[in-house]
Structure 1
C-alpha cells in the first residue's frame, strides 16, 4: 500500500514542477515582449544544469534568461568541464542540422557507410570544388557526403540562382558536379530549400564554405584533406 502514496506524491511533484515551469515561461515571454518587441520568441527551454532558460529569438540572438524574466545574457553558454571548454549553445544549434530530412540535401552515399558529414557548400567556392573532388575518395573510406546550400553572397545572388537550378534539376547530384566544374546550368525553378539552408547556415555560425558539420555537433570551418577528415569522423 505504501507504493501508492509514493506514486501519488511523485505525480503531485511533477504537476507542481510543470506548473512552475509554465509560470516561468509565461513571465519570461511577457518580459521579453516588453523590452524586445522587434523580435519574435521562437522557443523557450529550461537548461537544467544552469537553471537558466534558453530563448531563441527569430532572426535575433539566443538569450539566457533568469526564471523571473528579470535578467538575461545574450550570447553563447559555455560549460566548464575540467580543462575543457564546451560551447553548449553552438552544439545545440548544430544539432538542428542532423534533424533535417535528407530529401532536402544532395547526397553522395558511400556503399559501405561508416560515417557521414554534412557540408554547407557554394558552387563558386574554390575550396568547395577541392572537397567535391575528394568525394569519391571519401566514399571509398565509408564516408557519405551530404550537401546543404550556402551561397555566400546571399539570397538572390548568382550562386544562389545556380543552386536553385541545381536543386530543381532532374539530376541534382550530376548537375552539382557539372556546375562545380564550370558548366552552365539551364534555369530551373521549383519549391526548394536553398534559402532555408542558407539561413540555417547563418544561424549555426557558418561564415564561409565549405563548412563541415560532424554527427557529434562539431563544426569544421574550411577544407580538410581526405585522411584528416576521416580522422575527424573517427575512421
Structure 2
C-alpha cells in the first residue's frame, strides 16, 4: 500500500486531498449513525482536511472515511499531494502507538547484544516464515540492542505454533532455544508444560491492535508490522532513542 501510494502520488493520480480545504467539525450523531449501520462500535469520528469527509476509527487503528450522513463510505488512503505523504498512514501510526515502558517484559525472551542500549520488542510466531526472515536477515547483525521477543502464536494460521512457543519458553536456556529454532529449525527436547505467558502475549497483542506477525514495537511507542529491512529498523531505533 505504501509503495502504491508513492507511485500514485508521483504520477499525479491520487488527488483525494484538497490541501486548501478547511476542516469542519463532524456531525454530532455521525458516530452513532455509522455504528448502527455497521453493527459494531466506532472508536472515534474525526475531521479531515477535506470538507465533508470524516475519518472513522474502528478497532483502535483501522481507518475508513465517510460523508456527513454516514451514507457513503470508502476504504483507502487520504493523500496530501503537495506534501506527497499519506495522511492515513500518518494517522494509523499515531493511533498504533503504545507506552513501551509498560510492556510486560518479564513475559518476553530477552536478547541483549553489545551494550544493549537501544531497545525494541518483537511479537512473533515461531511458524511464521516472515518472522524467521526478520530474525535471520533484519535483526541478525544488529548491535548494541536489547530485543524483547513476545511469543504470539497465530493458531488460525499455524496450529502447532502454540506448542512450539511453549517449548521455547519452557527451555532451561531460552535464548539458545530461540536461536536454535529460528536459525536451525531445532526445537528443545523439553515439552511446553510449564507456567508460560503465551496466552497473555496473545491477549496483549490484540489489545495493541496487533493482528499479524511479526510486529515491532520501538521505545517511542511506534508499532511497525512486517519483516522490515534492517536499515529501516536502524532508522527507527535512532528515531526512538
Q: Which runs of 5+ in 1 are unaligned?
A: 1-19
Q: CA distance change for structure 1 residues 190 and 230 in 2, over 3 Å: closer, same or farther?
A: closer
Q: Which of 82, 101, 105 is matched with 2:108 structurally?
A: 105
Q: 2:58 maps to what in 1?
A: 56
Contact between 1:115 and 1:142, CA under 8 Å: does it hold in 2? yes
Q: Going by fraction, where is helix more abundant, 1 or 2? A: 1
Q: 1:195 maps to what in 2?
A: 202
SS in 2 for 1:154: coil
Contact between 1:62 and 1:76, CA under 8 Å: does it hold in 2? no
SS in 2 for 1:193: helix
**Number of equivalent positions:** 204
CA RMSD of aligned residues (A): 4.4
Aligned equivalents of 1:83 and 1:224: distance in 2?
23
Alignment map for 1:1-235 (pairs within 5 Å): 24=28, 27-37=29-39, 39-41=40-42, 43-47=43-47, 52-57=54-59, 61-66=62-67, 69=70, 71-80=72-81, 82-85=83-86, 87-96=89-98, 98=100, 101-103=103-105, 104-110=107-113, 112-125=115-128, 128-129=131-132, 132=135, 137-138=141-142, 141-151=143-153, 154=156, 157-167=159-169, 172-173=174-175, 175-180=177-182, 181-188=186-193, 192-196=199-203, 199=206, 203-204=209-210, 206=212, 210-214=214-218, 217=222, 219=224, 221-222=226-227, 224=229, 229-230=233-234, 233-234=237-238
Q: 1:6 maps to what in 2?
A: none
Max Rg structure: 1
Deviations 1:199-224 (A, max 9, x none): 468x5574xx5454555637363264
Q: CA distance change for structure 1 residues 219 and 33 in 2, over 3 Å: closer, same or farther?
A: closer
SS in 2 for 1:163: helix
Q: Which runs of 5+ in 2 are unaligned?
A: 1-24
TM-score by structure 1 length? 0.59
SS in 2 for 1:183: coil
Deviations 1:156-211 (A, max 9, x none): 7101232245457777555434544332441235563243356468x5574xx545
Contact between 2:100 and 2:218, CA under 8 Å: does it hold in 1? no
